[in-house]
Structures are given as structure tokens and as C-alpha cells.
Amino acid sequence: MRLHRFTLPFFLNLVLLLPALVSAQTAIRQRSSTEGFSLGLQGHMLGWSSDYFQFLDENSGNGLGGGLRAGFGLTQRLELFAQYDATKMNIDNVDAESFRFTTLTGGVRFNFSATTHALRPFVEAGYARRTGKIDQVINGNTYDNILFRGGSAHLGAGLNYFLSLPVAITVNGAFQVGGKSAIDLNGAESGDKADVSTFRISAGIIVNLSELF
């Protein structure tokens, strides 16, 4: 009888608590992951400035492009990445055949929040190698081909929002500042070096491949 009195309240309480336990288990399900391999595709708007190329940055100051990104999350917090971006600059106000930027970036990203959240903010830092190529641009009384390239620091921040594992929407902004770019004029080294700073606002999609296997 004593056993009966003990077990009946116990099982009644268990039945009452069971829905809450199931609800709690459902609420803490994984909603995001930044660990392992990921690939991303994104479009961007790029702007730039330079005291050396003052005429160009005033009249061809922005452009549109796209990029590919590969990442490897060592942990949910720490991620290594490499990214390639290509940009076609607006030359409506410049007498030139074409103007393009390419940027190769490598660095480390720190992801915030937990896997139970779909929204994952991040900050990142690294090194960017930029190349600017202007074909047949008016330079005094002649048309020249100008190539400038150099490295700079890369600083960025943004948000990843996981629609459903393993797919996330990403929005971010980044600056590439510091360093000098060596200038080639018509295929020959000019000996000059230009100050070049760029900023990029991007949006795209990321797939965490490690979650697929």
C-alpha cells in the first residue's frame, strides 16, 4: 500500500511535466552551424578613394560585382576564410574603355551567438591583395593602360541568418585600408605608388557543406 501511495503521485507529476520536457527539448534544437567547410556566393557594391587617382575616384567612384568565398570553421567561433571578388566600375563619367577591380582576401572570422540561434553576427580581419586595371583611359593627350596592385589590411563585420540548415543568407561590409599600390603604365613599371582604400557592401548565400554529410 505504501508503494502504491508513493508511485501514484509520482506518475501523475511525471505525466504533467512530460509536455514541458518535450517542449524544452524542441526549443533547444540546433538552428545554425559555422563549423566545418562552407562555400558562399555573393554580390557587392564597391567604392574606393585615392589621393593619387583623384580624378578617377571622383568620376568612377563605385561599381558592382560578385565574389566566391570558402570557409573552414575550426570551431563554432573561429573560422578561416578565403575570398575572391571581381568588380566592374562605373565609367559613365570617364573617357575609358574599361575599369575593373579584383580582390583576393584571406583571414580569420570570429562568429558570435550559439548554434541554437539562426542569427549569427561576426567580425573578421585579414589581408587583401587588390588589382585595379584601367584600359585606354584618357591621360592628357593620349590614351593609356594603367595597372595598379598592392596589399592592404582587411576589416569587416556582418550577419549570417540561417534559413534552415545548412543554408544561410549573409550581409556584410568590409574595408581594405593601408598599404601602397605599385603602378604600371602601358605594361612598364612607372616607379610610382598610389594610396588606395576600398570598401565593399555585400549580400549573398552561404552553404555549410559539412552539414550535408
3-class secondary-structure state, position 66:
strand
Which parts of 11-141 are beta strand (E)?
36-49, 62-73, 78-89, 98-111, 119-139
pLDDT digits (tens, 9 = 90+) for 126-179: 999 999 999 999 888 899 999 999 999 999 999 999 999 999 999 999 999 988
Residue keyed to cell 533547444: 28
Q: From CA 116, how far away is CA 93, in angstroms rounded?
A: 49
CA dihedral 4, 5, 8, 12 (to 10 degrees): -170
DSSP code of 29? -
The phi-psi region of residue 135 (left if phi > 0; otherwise alpha if psi is between -120 and 50; otherwise beta) is beta
pLDDT digits (tens, 9 = 90+) for 12-69: 555 456 555 545 454 578 899 999 999 999 999 999 999 999 889 899 999 999 999 9
Share of the chain above pLDDT 90, in %: 80
Residue 97 falls within a domain, yes or no?
yes
Find the distance separating the first CA and the last CA of the chain, reported in whole Å: 55
Residue of 136, 121, 150 lying closest to 185 (CA atoms):
136
Q: From CA 165, how far away is CA 188, in angstroms rounded?
A: 51
For CA atoms 149, 152, 155, 161, the dihedral sign is positive
Q: Mean pLDDT throughout 75-89?
A: 98
Residue 184 falls within a domain, yes or no?
yes
pLDDT bracket for residue 213 (50, 70, 90):
confident
Domain count, the chain: 1
Residue 19 falls within a domain, yes or no?
no
3-class secondary-structure state, position 207:
strand
Residue 12 falls within a domain, yes or no?
no
Residue 78 falls within a domain, yes or no?
yes
Residue 11 falls within a domain, yes or no?
no
For CA atoms 20, 26, 32, 38, the dihedral sign is positive
Domain hosting 80: range is: 31-211
Residue 193 falls within a domain, yes or no?
yes
Residue 183 is part of a domain; what is its CATH number? 2.40.160.20
Q: From CA 197, how far away is CA 57, in angstroms rounded?
A: 10
pLDDT digits (tens, 9 = 90+) for 103-125: 999 999 999 999 999 999 999 99
Residue 111 falls within a domain, yes or no?
yes
